[in-house]
Amino acid sequence: MKRKRTGYEIVPFPRGRHAIVDSMIQAQRKRVAHALLEVDVTEARRYLGQHRVRTGESLSFTAFIAACLAKAVDEDKHLHAYRKGRNRLVLFDDVDVSVLVEREVGGERMPLLPLVIRRANRKTVEEIHHEIRSSQAREVEEPRGMWLYAALPTFIRVLFWRTLNRNPDLMKRVAGTVSVSALGMFGRGAGWGIPLPLYTLALTVGGIAEKPGVVDGQVQVREYLSLTISMDHDVIDGAPAARFIRCLKELVESGSGLPGHDSTSGDTG
C-alpha cells in the first residue's frame, strides 16, 4: 500500500526484485574479469537499415548481438562451462542465451524473468528476433510463487541461488548458459555497464557513439558500440578470452548473419 508523506512517498518494494537482489549476492562470490571494448557497428547498422527499408521490419539489435555471442561461444565450449564440484567442468553442446526482457507487471516495468533463447548457436538472427518480440508482446502476470519466495527468510533464498549455481544442469534449464544485458537500447552515446554476472560469461551492451575511424586509409565517421565482456576467471583464462573477443568482434563488425551480409561477404569466425 502506498503512503503519502510530506515531500516523499512510501511504496512497496517490488516482490520480483527480491530474486534479483539474491542472485547478486551469489554473483559476488565469483572472481570476475571484465573487458571493455569498442566495436565498429557501422556495417551492421547499415544492413539493419537496409532490411527495414526493404521489408518494413526493424530487426532487434539485441537479437543480432545474441546471435553473434552464441556463434563465438560455439567455437570454444569452455567459454560457457560451469564448474561441477572442485575438479570437473560441464561443457554444453548448445549455447542457451539469457536475455533480459522488460515487461509491465502490476503497472510497473521490470525484467521479471529472463527470456532464454535455447540453442541460439543453431538459430538465425531472424529466429532470435521473433522470439524476443513474441516475449515482449506476451501479457504476463507475476508468477504465483513470487509472493511465497519474497516471504522466505533471506538465507533460504540465498541457499536456493547457491544450489542453482552449483548444479550445471539445473542452471542451464532455468537460466541458460550465457547472458546478454542490453543497457544501451535505452539511450544513445558511449558508455559501459559493469555487471555482477551469475554466469561464466556475460555480455553487457552499452551505448553507441559516433567517432572518427580509419577505413582503407581514409578517416570516416563510424558508429562504435560499447561492450563489456565479463568472465569467471576460475573457468576462463586470458588466451581463450582473447580468441573469443577477437571472434566476437569480427562477427559483430562484419554484420554476420544479417540479411544482406551473406550476399556481400562470407561469415567470419
CATH number at residue 155: 3.30.559.10
Answer yes or no: is 7 within a domain. no
Helix (H) or strand (E) holding 157: helix 154-166
What are 185's three cell numbers?
537500447
pLDDT digits (tens, 9 = 90+) for 55-86: 999 999 999 999 999 999 999 999 999 988 88
Q: Is residue 154 part of a domain?
A: yes
Q: Are 135 and 153 in contact (CB under 8 A)?
A: no
pLDDT tens sequence across 115-134: 899 999 999 999 999 999 88
Cell of 81: 562451462
pTM: 0.84
Q: How far apart are CA 237 and CA 221, in angstroms?
A: 35
Distances (CA, A) of 174 to 14, 118, 253, 267: 21, 11, 31, 31
Structural domain contains residue 12: no
Position 151 scores a pLDDT of 81
Is the model more confident about 221 or about 162? 221
Q: How deeply is 8 buried, as exposed, middle or buried, from its count of CB atoms within 10 A (0-12, 13-18, 19+)?
A: exposed
- Residue 13 placed within a domain: no
| Cell reading at 83 | 564448474
User: Would you say 229 and 203 are in contact if contact means Cβ atoms under 8 Å apart?
Assistant: yes
Q: Does residue 267 fall inside a structural domain?
A: no
Q: How far is CA 251 from the centre of its chain?
A: 16
Is residue 255 within 8 A of residue 44, CB to CB? The reply is yes
Domain that includes residue 170, residue range? 22-254
Q: Are 97 and 118 in contact (CB under 8 A)?
A: no
pLDDT at site 268? 40
Across residues 228-241, what is the average pLDDT?
92
CA distance 82 to 91: 7
What is the total count of domains within the chain? Answer: 1
Closest CA to 205 of 106, 99, 125, 109: 99
